Amino acid sequence: MQQMQYVEPGSLVLEKGDMKYPITLRVNDESFELLVEAHKPLLHVLRDDLNLTGARRGCESGYCGACTVLLNGQPVHSCSVLAVTAGGKEITTIEGVAADGQLHPLQEAFVAQGAIQCGYCSPGFILTAKALLDAEPQPDPATVREWLKGNICRCTGYAKIIQAVQEAAQKLLAKNV
């Protein structure tokens, strides 16, 4: 056992990797016990430690939305969330959206509308749209645009993405009737 020694206040400098904290992440309805560094973004834990690569590395500054996940049902840029702050919260990644081997209606609509193109940004758009449709089942195009403004696509323009969200909204409403 390592012996503790006195350190003058303010004299301790932590190097990267020195301190790890135990956390429990609840991801896609599964719990994971992890030791993570205090400075490590949720994106890196999801990709590097849990091998959930649907959240993409993009700008790594919270601008592009490629790393979007749902945290307690709300879209967040996982590159800007420290993993230690996500402990005990519900995290949904794109890997957790499909159920029982069936694509979610949003995923189906993105394919049907040609809103995927290269696919790099699609997980972030789909998760943001899922949060929107969970909160507002019948959004108008302006509301869809407002919700999706934190996600960038360089391939499709945004018309097909907006159409896909509205198609999924109609499918989800029809299922719930």
Structural domain tally of the chain?
A: 2
Max intra-chain CA distance, the chain: 66
Please provide the distance, in angstroms rounded to a whole number, between the alpha carbons at the two ends of the chain.
Answer: 63
CATH number at residue 76: 3.10.20.30
The reported pLDDT for the residue numbered 6 is: 43
Same domain? 114 vs 81: no
Same domain? 117 vs 75: no
In contact, 75 and 128? CB cutoff 8 Å: yes
The reported pLDDT for the residue numbered 95 is: 98
CATH number at residue 138: 1.10.150.120
Q: How confident is the model at residue 111 (pLDDT cuts 50, 70, 90)?
A: very high
In contact, 41 and 18? CB cutoff 8 Å: no
The reported pLDDT for the residue numbered 131 is: 98
Final residue in a domain of this structure, among 96, 120, 138: 96
CA nearest 165: which of 136, 134, 126? 126
The reported pLDDT for the residue numbered 150 is: 95
pLDDT (mean) for 88-104? 96
Residue-wise pLDDT for 2-21, tens only, equals 444 444 554 445 455 568 99
Same domain? 36 vs 73: yes
Residue-wise pLDDT for 19-62, tens only, equals 899 999 999 999 999 999 999 999 999 999 999 999 999 999 99
Q: What is the mean pLDDT of the chain?
A: 91
Query: Two tokens at 26?
Result: 């609840």
Residue-wise pLDDT for 58-80, tens only, equals 999 999 999 999 999 999 999 99
Domain span holding position 51: 20-96
